[in-house]
Amino acid sequence: MKSALTWEIIAKCSTTKARVGKLILPHGPVDTPVFMPVGTQGTLKGITPKQLEELGCQIMLNNTYHLGLKPGQELLEQIGGSHNFQNWSRNLLTDSGGFQMVSLLKLAKITEQGVEFQSPHDDGSTMLLTPEHSISLQNSIGADIIMQLDDVVSSLTTGKRVEEAMYRSIRWLDRCISVHKKTDSQNLFAIIQGGLDPNLRKKCVEEMVLRDTPGYAIGGLSGGEEKDTFWKIVTLCTDLLPKSKPIYCMGVGYTEDLVVCSALGVDMYDCVFPTRTARFGNALTSKGSLNLRSVKFSNDFQPIEKDCDCVACKSYTRSFIHLQATKETVGCHLITLHNVAYQLRLMRNIRQAIIEDRFPSFVKQIFKDLFGDNEKYPVWAVNALKSVNVDLLSEK
């Protein structure tokens, strides 16, 4: 199908499947692998668009379900989309809205037609989100990348339902493609489903690749499945998907997951974790997370992380942020700024290591910093990296 992006691989790791790419979207370039912070309701948790731009963020997420409720489709049409509404001049990605319906709403019912759910207006009525409606909403929001409505099942579900959901997601993709009006300014990504079953995943990839969407997402993971199963599905998908298109792994945002998935050939990620955990006073560092509410930081006069160039680290000590954390909004904003800076820096460092072809040693250093003792390394990560020729436990 028609695409409104170009994507070029500019470096490949000679050991793993990791790659660095330059994605050009309607609102500017995106360097991959990329982490996309989540600005659910058309705003990234207390951070101004200017601050986000200064952090070097090239693409952010908005959630279709939330924007559809408030400010609503009509207003978004009127103002010319979410970019204008929130004054964000760089790229946006929207999800389909389906995931929120299933995860946030009780009694969501999925039929061939779409996702039927209880109206959030609390009047007892039901509403129906169809593939057509999701695309129409996403066309009004105007994000640079939009996602198909997929039939989401929990990654712990087994049996016939998983197969049904996979095939239905293919049929829904066709319906999405046929109603997508803005193919010259918005890129529709297909979402690979098929649960934890390699055969279903394989079948799904085959069918969806035939539709030739501008990019592909790996869906239906990060839902509490065994991590050893998770990475095997990811690596299967990156093996099967065309090398010429960006691959997006949905809902991934922990440091070790980002590093491992990048080694497996994934290009894009999103997760609410860095911004959500900030609101509980947790600051991310290369040595792990610091809970700045803890009294042990009250007399700690270092910055959150040495050498971090974010506003929080340049301006304040841990002691000061401890005073603010979870008590004043400023505390939350400072930790959010830091955590987004941390994620974006991590991705920049991943890209740089791939470009300089020292990614394996970079990965080892990340794990050493994060977990210290190699007995504490998660087994799944050791296994996943071994599959792409990086032995975390070797001394070299």
Partner 1 sequence: MSGFSFNLLKITDPRFRLGKIIFSRNKHEKILDTPNCFVYTIRGSVPHLTPDNLQTIPADAFGITLEHFLEVQPPSSTYFMGGIHKFLNLEEYPLFFDVRDSEKLQNISFGTDKYVPVVTSHGCRKVTLEEYIRYMNIYNPDIFASMTDLITVKNPGLKRVKKSVDRTLNWLDETLEHTKEGIQVFGVVTGYDKHEERERSAKETANRNVAGFVLNGFDLDMTSKERLDLMKISLKYLPRNKPRGIDIFNTSYPSDMTSLGHALTFLLIEDGIQHRREKFINLWDDKYRTDFKPILDECKCYTCQNHKRAYIHHLLKTHEMLATVLLMSHNLFHYLQFFKTIRKSINLNTFTNTAIQFINMYGSDDNDASNT
Binding residues for substrate: 95-99, 150, 193, 220
Q: Does 214 bind partner 1 (CB under 8 A)?
A: no
- Please identify which of the residues 31, 95, 184, 369 carries the catalytic annotation: 95
Concatenate the DSSP letters of all residues of 47-108 into one string: B-HHHHHHTT--EEEE-HHHHIIIIIHHHHHHHTSHHHHHT--SEEEE--SHHHHHHHSTT-
As annotated, the binding site for Zn(2+) includes: 308, 310, 313, 338
Question: Cβ closer to partner 1: 42 or 142?
Answer: 42
Q: How far apart are CA 202 and CA 225, in angstroms?
A: 19
Binding mask 327-346 for partner 1 (x = CB under 8 A): xxxx-xxx--x---------
Cα(281)–Cα(328) distance, rounded to whole angstroms?
11
Q: Is 272 in the site for partner 1 (CB under 8 A)?
A: no
- 265 contacts partner 1 (rule: CB under 8 A): no
Q: How far apart are CA 304 and CA 193, in angstroms?
A: 39
DSSP string, 270-311: E-SHHHHHHHTTEEEETTEEEETTSGGGTT--S-SSTT--SH
- Looking at residue 151, the DSSP 8-state letter turns out to be -
Does position 83 interact with partner 1 (CB under 8 A)? The reply is no
User: Which residue from 103, 126, 178, 315 is in contact with partner 1, where contact means CB under 8 A?
Assistant: 315
Q: Is 157 an interacting residue with respect to partner 1 (CB under 8 A)?
A: no
| SS3 state at 116 | strand
* Closest CB to partner 1 among residues 41, 365: 41
Sheet hosting strand 91-94, strand order edge to edge: 34-36, 268-270, 247-249, 215-218, 187-192, 145-147, 91-94, 59-62
Q: Residue 73 interacts with partner 1 (CB under 8 A)? A: no
| Nearest distance, CB of residue 334 and partner 1, angstroms | 6
Of the candidate residues 15, 183, 317, 365, the single one contacting partner 1 (CB under 8 A):
317
270 as an active site residue: the answer is yes
Q: Are strands 19-25 and 6-12 parallel, antiparallel or unpaired?
A: antiparallel
Residue with Cβ nearer partner 1 (315 or 389): 315
- Kindly tell me which of 86 and 130 has the beta carbon lying closer to partner 1: 86
Name the residue type at position 8.
Answer: E
Active site (annotated) includes residue 95:
yes
| Per-residue x/- track, 273-312, partner 1 (CB under 8 A) | -------------------------xx-x---------xx
Q: How far is 300 from 321, CA to CA, in rounded Å?
A: 10
CA atoms within 13 A on the CB side of 349: 17
Tokens 């974006």, residue located: 344
User: Residue 127, interface with partner 1 (CB under 8 A)?
Assistant: no
- Of the candidates 71, 198, 223, 378, which one interacts with partner 1 according to CB under 8 A? 71
Does 313 contact partner 1 by CB under 8 A? no
Q: How many CB atoms lie within 10 A of CB 221?
A: 23
Residues that bind partner 1 (CB under 8 A): 41-51, 54, 66, 70-71, 75, 78-79, 85-87, 298-299, 301, 311-312, 315-317, 319-320, 322-324, 327-330, 332-334, 337
* Residues with catalytic function: 95, 270
